[in-house]
Amino acid sequence: MEGASLTLATTGALCGGEAPVNSSPRAVSAYGDTGAVDDLVRVVLIALAVLVVIGLAVVGWLMWRFKIPPRGVVAMVGALFYLALPVDLVPEALLGPIGVVDDTGVLAAVGIWVYKLVKARQTLVEGGVIKRPPPTGG
């Protein structure tokens, strides 16, 4: 590290200016100072993780409230991860608002399919094929 400081001081002195002083304790990588980009990536990843956790909580609540079968939950979690991942069939970065169409289509398809699953279960319960769960005191 002392050699790097000596090189910087010598280079600054040769150019006629003052030697640059690196007062920050942050290490400088081979690609330069990427501190702002690293901070932005960290914030985006944390926000994405929070959204995924909230989404999973909503899926769990829907499963409990409407007695959604496991395959519906798998579809909802799959749709949640499709929305959260940066890989898309129609990327928003290239097409702007048009790129949201595939995300909306995935949400609509999963929503309709889960709705049909819930309605089919209600029909089976009303027909006596599936036993109705005991009422909870509330």
24 pLDDT higher than 80: no
Q: Say how many CA atoms lie within 13 Å of 45 toward its Cβ.
A: 6
Give Cβ neighbours of residue 84 (< 8 Å, ≥ 6 apart).
48, 51, 52, 55
Q: What is the pLDDT, as a whole number, of residue 10?
A: 47
Please tell me which residue, 96 or 111, carries the higher pLDDT value: 111
37 pLDDT higher than 90: no
109 pLDDT higher than 90: yes
Confidence of residue 108 (pLDDT cuts 50, 70, 90): very high
- pTM for this predicted structure: 0.57
Torsion 15-17-23-24 (CA) sign: negative
107 SS3 class:
helix
Report the C-alpha gap between 58 and 51 in whole angstroms.
10
**Mean pLDDT calculated for residue range 35-55:** 87
Give Cβ neighbours of residue 6 (< 8 Å, ≥ 6 apart).
none
Report the C-alpha gap between 109 and 115 in whole angstroms.
10
Give pLDDT tens digits for 87-101.
Answer: 777 777 788 888 788
Ranking 8-12, 21-25, 74-78 by mean pLDDT, the lowest is 8-12
